[in-house]
Amino acid sequence: MSTALFVSSATVAVEGRKLIDAVDLRLESGTVTAVIGPNGAGKSTLLAVAAGQLRPTSGTVHLGSRESHKVPAAEAARRRAVMPQDSGVAFAFTVREVVEMGRTPWRKVRSDHAAAVDDALELTGLTALAERDITTLSGGERQRAALARVIAQATPVAEGSVILLDEPTSAMDVAHAEATLGLMRTLASRGAAVGVVLHDLDAAASYADSLVLLQHGRVRASGRVSSVCDAEVLSQVYGTPVEVLDVAGRLRVGPVRPARAA
Amino acid sequence: MTAAQDTAPAQEKPEQEAVPDGAGAGSGRASASAGRTARSPRRSRRGLRAGIAAAVLTAALLVVVLISASLGQFSTTPAQVLESIGRVLFGGADPIDNRVDAALWTIRFPRTLLALLVGACLAVAGTVMQGLFANPLAEPSIIGVSSGASVGACIAIVFGFSATAPWTLPAGAFAGALVITGVVWALSRSGGRAVVLTLVLTGIAINAVAGAATSFLVFMGDTSSREQIIFWQMGTLSGATWEGVGVTAVVFALGLIGCLALRSRLDVLALGDRSAAASGIDVEKLRVVAILLVCFMTGVAVAFAGVIAFVGLIVPHALRLIVGPSHRYLVPLSALGGAVLLGLADIAARTVIPFGDLPVGIFTALVGGPLFLVLLRRTLKRPGAAA
């Protein structure tokens, strides 16, 4: 197992306020790492730093063995694909055209674009919507199109590939959310290092190999799922009772909900 | 939404591909069923539409040239125009030897060609601008090109430079366009990056200042220079010369080549700056290069034809409805579309009032204003479009 992306002691300060403070994030090839934490904890900031979209005020980001900002843009994009929170597209491109945009960094080095795009469409269940105008799709469908674009960009997945997803399932229905989370595991099994911001604690506990729990811009806990999923710590961080149950050997994590008469 | 239900079964439905295209047509879902085939019918349909649009616009362009050259105080027929072209271009005849040739080659052809080139410049610049800002309502004027050109032109007119040396008017306008665009660009950068919103807001502020400077110059000027400024600001092609045509043609050709080189990258900007950057595009560099191209193309157009509004707004928008938003088709087609539109507007400007030469900007604004409102309302209604 090797480190595909390493954010080391990153601090991002805006007008004196630290959005993240000396945060480490290590993404290993073949694994899924979920970043969790309450609103405003710095999850998206950390992901933007990892994505190379935001230069940290201090600290470093390594993509493979090199510093991220020293890797030429196209080469960096071949190794690292990023799905943003906002999946809006300004013009009426078809879904296929949007997914094809994911092939941009590969234009000069490969020619198997059609196959990569078809695969990405199929993996996200968008084959039937491929020729639809993306601006007419629902939020969840657009999110899947953004995911398909990211998969097309990450193809071929190889050792060292990094895939970053910022709340990829936030607008999806249960079936597509589960399919997306499963897809993350598939990509990891092909060798990618997946970093994902998730709000759903149970999804994070079920699908990730390791967790990074952020609070007020700092890492409150990180490591294996079982070590981070501590009911007391999670309850304190989120400010609401959170329970961690062992159901037949699998952790179920979520808020404690009131009992009601059926 | 029924589309959502369509997708779930699609995952394990490769056998659908064997269904002939015609089967789905009767159900009113032709596009969805055609989409399941391995090829990309929408893409090729857009390609086909682009081909048809290119053919239609090229034909329209030739017709516009013939009509435009035939109309005027000295009336000629299209056949005479063709004869004259053959005589001078291929026969090597000197145009001043005969009255038909003289009228055509010294007045009408330069004017017609200038109209086509200016229209093409404005439309391509508008297309690139809209792609660059990922906003269908963007226009080159927001970055200060037109207001800067106005200041430069007013200086040339009011201080009397243009009376002694006519070339100082386009030169002043062009320089003004470059300077004001440069100022907007410099002031909208913070931390080494220019964000779209900051650029637009800075543009508004600088445009206001440039507008005040123009007004002040008009106030300072005498009656004849005021009149000249007013006509220049309405946009007119009446002063067309071969020199102007030559300069515009060179700038247009270089600008078009540059814009064609950028077009696939412009598509990706529709995803937003961050996603475009994550796709391996140097967004900042792309923006600098594209704004320079827009500034040169719009600057040269404004310099020789004055302020002609809305061509850069309407043409890309109308074409997008026909061939889709891909700049692969949009950039070359907008050159043709802009040329045809301004060619037609110029014909109208010359013929609506007998023996009167109306400023061509009146026609483009007359069509453009209402169309802009329609576009605005359509954009507001669209739920999926990024802000």
What domain count does chain B have? 1
Write out pLDDT tens, residues A1-30. Answer: 689 999 999 999 988 899 999 999 999 999
**What are the beta bridge partners of residue A66?**
A63
pLDDT reported for residue B20 = 38
Residue A208 in contact with residue A225, Cβ under 8 Å?
Answer: yes
Domain parsing of chain A, residue ranges: 3-255
Q: What is the pLDDT of residue B44?
A: 66
Strand pairing category for A162-166 and A193-197: parallel
Buried b (16+ CB within 10 A) or exposed e, B88-104: beeeeeebeeeebbebb
B2: in domain: no
CA–CA min distance A249, chain B (Å): 31
Residues on chain A touching B1 (C-beta within 8 angstroms): 138
Q: Compute CA distances B249 → B7, B141, B345, B364, whole Å.
A: 50, 21, 19, 21
B384 contacts A128? CB cut-off 8 A: no
Q: B278 and A135: CB-CB below 8 Å?
A: no
Q: Do A92 and B320 touch (CB under 8 A)?
A: yes
Which domain range does residue B133 map to? 46-379
- Does A76 contact B280 at a Cβ distance shorter than 8 Å? yes
- Smallest CA–CA separation between B69 and chain A, in Å? 38
Residue listed under structure tokens 């009113």: B28
> Among residues 307-326 of chain B, which lie with CB inside 8 Å of chain A?
320, 324-326
In this structure, which long-range contacts are made by residues B83-92, counting pairs with CB atoms below 8 Å and at least 24 apart in sequence? none
Angle B243-B211-B222 from CA coordinates, rounded to 5°: 70
Q: Do A81 and B34 touch (CB under 8 A)?
A: no
For position B137, which CATH number holds?
A: 1.10.3470.10
Q: Do A125 and B272 count as a contact with CB atoms less than 8 A apart?
A: no
DSSP at A48: H
SS3 label, residue A7: strand
- Spell out, as residue ranges, where chain B has pLDDT lower than 70: 1-44, 190-195, 379-387
Nearest chain B residue to A74 by CA distance is: B280
Any CB–CB contact under 8 A between B279 and chain A?
yes
Alpha helix segments (H runs only) across chain B: 2-10, 22-25, 30-34, 41-70, 78-85, 99-103, 109-133, 145-158, 161-164, 168-188, 196-220, 223-234, 242-268, 273-278, 283-305, 311-323, 327-351, 360-381
Q: Is residue B167 part of a domain?
A: yes
Of the pLDDT bands very low, low, confident and very high (cuts 50, 70, 90), residue A207 is very high
Shortest Cα–Cα distance, B323 to chain A (Å): 10
DSSP one-letter string for B22-90: HHHHTTT-HHHHHTTSSS-HHHHHHHHHHHHHHHHHHHHHHHHHHHHHH-SSS---HHHHHHHHIIIII
d(CA A175, CA B99): 79
Residue to test with chain B: of A44, A63, A104, A162, most B Cβ within 10 A: A104
Domain A3-255 bears CATH identifier 3.40.50.300: yes
CA atoms within 13 A on the CB side of A101: 31
Average pLDDT score over chain A: 92
Chain B residues close to A74, C-beta within 8 Å? 280
Q: pLDDT tens digit string along A115-130?
A: 999 999 999 999 999 9
Closest residue in chain B to residue A51, using alpha carbons only: B278
For residue A175, give how far its alpha carbon lies from the nearest alpha carbon of chain B (Å).
9
Cβ neighbors of B212 (< 8 A, separation 6 or more) are none
The answer to whether residue B293 sits within a structural domain is yes
Give the residue-averaged pLDDT of A162-168: 95
Task: Please name the helix (run of DSSP H) or strand (run of DSSP E) that holds residue A235, with its range, or none.
Answer: helix A231-238
CA-CA distances (angstroms) from residue A251 to A33, A208, B34? 16, 12, 45
Span B37-79, pLDDT tens digits? 344 455 567 888 899 999 999 999 999 999 988 887 777 888 8
Chain A within 8 Å of B34 (Cβ-Cβ)? Answer: yes
Vertex A24, ends A23 and A27: CA angle to 5°? Answer: 140
CA distances B381 to A135, A136, B274, Å, are 11, 11, 25
Angle formed at CA B240 by CA B238 and CA B242, multiple of 5 degrees: 160
**Structural domain contains residue B54:** yes
Distance of CA B53 to the CA centre of its chain: 16
How would you classify the pairing of strands A218-224 and A210-215?
Answer: antiparallel
SS3 A14: strand
A261 pLDDT exceeds 90?
no
**What is the DSSP-derived secondary structure letter of residue B106?**
I
Q: What is the pTM of this model?
A: 0.84
Residue B34 lies inside a defined structural domain of this protein: no
Question: Is residue B38, in this structure, part of any structural domain at all?
Answer: no
Residue B165 lies in a domain: yes
Query: What local confidence, expressed as pLDDT, does residue B14 receive?
Result: 39
Domain membership of residue B19 (yes or no) is: no
Q: Do A88 and B277 touch (CB under 8 A)?
A: no
Give the distance from residue A125's alpha carbon to the nearest chain B alpha carbon, in angstroms: 5
Is-contact A4 A50, C-beta < 8 A? no
User: pLDDT for B355-387, tens place per residue?
Assistant: 778 888 888 888 778 877 887 777 666 554 443
User: What six digits make up the tokens of A120?
Assistant: 């990405």
Question: To which residue do tokens 């060292």 refer?
Answer: A160
